[in-house]
């Protein structure tokens, strides 16, 4: 696990197992805001599912954007949860560090729970119905098990009617599997990539 500073002064790690960085080197926090928080219109009172929690930046960006949130994170890599303890940012990121260590956090504004293990299995432990999903695994080429129609269907089943999912990928296999699971698909933002991200809605 190698800690790397991105262009917006936030940090990411390089994962040797998957041969990929956890975030865009152009800016890890910018990516969280532009690909997840803004298109999903995260606001007060939402229930959020963060698939592949990683460094916690998507959840962190949600904490900066809204209050009274309930967030369930799925993550299997305990090394990244240990690694993010190295990062120093602000009081909201201290919450992320506490969650990654204790696997839960609760105060008057936030209730966060982290389920550690294979996301395709821990999704079965999610009993809440969620308003939005941050879907942020490694690429379909490196992490295919998280991009199957079956897993998308399991995620779809914990979403409320009208709920939305955002992911950075627009790969054809990803969109085809999302459609098989029941999602209505549209393009999301282009951010330092040739193709757009993807927004899936449960209609």
Task: Spell out the domain ranges in the chain.
Answer: 29-201
Tell me which residue of 142, 12, 162 sits closest to 87, measured CA to CA. Answer: 12
Walk along the chain (203 residues) and give the pLDDT tens digit of each residue: 667 777 767 777 776 776 766 656 556 788 889 999 999 999 999 999 999 999 899 999 999 999 999 999 999 999 889 988 988 888 999 999 999 999 999 999 999 999 999 999 999 999 999 999 999 998 898 899 999 999 999 999 999 999 999 999 999 999 999 999 999 999 998 866 668 999 999 99
Cα–Cα distance, 185 to 203 (Å, whole number): 10
Reading phi first (left if > 0) and then psi (alpha if -120 to 50, else beta), residue 61 is in: alpha
Class of domain 29-201: alpha beta
34's tokens: 């532009």
Contact 6, 23 (CB under 8 A): yes
- pTM of the entire predicted model: 0.89
Q: Which helix (H) or strand (E) holds 82?
A: helix 78-83
Chain centroid to CA 84: how far? 15
Q: Count of CB atoms within 10 A of residue 33's CB?
A: 20
CB-count exposure of residue 106 (10 Å: 0-12, 13-18, 19+): exposed
Interacting residues of 154 by C-beta distance below 8 A, sequence separation 6+: 120, 123, 124
């Amino acid at each position: 696990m190698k800690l790397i500073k991105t262009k917006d002064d936030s940090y990411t790690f390089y994962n040797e197992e998957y041969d990929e960085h956890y975030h865009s080197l152009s800016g890890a926090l910018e990516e969280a805001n532009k690909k997840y928080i803004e298109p999903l219109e995260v606001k007060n009172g939402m229930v959020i599912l963060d698939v592949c929690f990683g460094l916690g930046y998507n959840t962190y960006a949600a904490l900066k954007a809204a209050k009274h949130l309930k967030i369930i994170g799925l993550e299997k890599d305990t090394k990244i949860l240990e690694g993010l303890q190295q990062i120093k940012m602000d009081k909201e990121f201290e919450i992320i560090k506490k969650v990654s260590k204790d696997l839960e956090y609760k105060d008057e504004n936030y209730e966060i729970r982290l389920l550690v293990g294979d996301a395709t299995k821990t999704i079965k432990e999610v009993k809440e119905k969620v308003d939005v999903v941050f879907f942020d695994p490694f690429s379909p080429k490196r992490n295919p098990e998280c991009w199957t129609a079956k897993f998308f269907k399991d995620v779809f089943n914990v979403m409320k009617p009208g709920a939305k999912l955002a992911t950075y990928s627009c790969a054809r296999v990803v969109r085809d599997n999302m459609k098989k699971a029941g999602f209505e698909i549209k393009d999301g933002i282009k951010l330092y990539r040739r193709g757009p991200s993807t927004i899936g809605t449960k209609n």
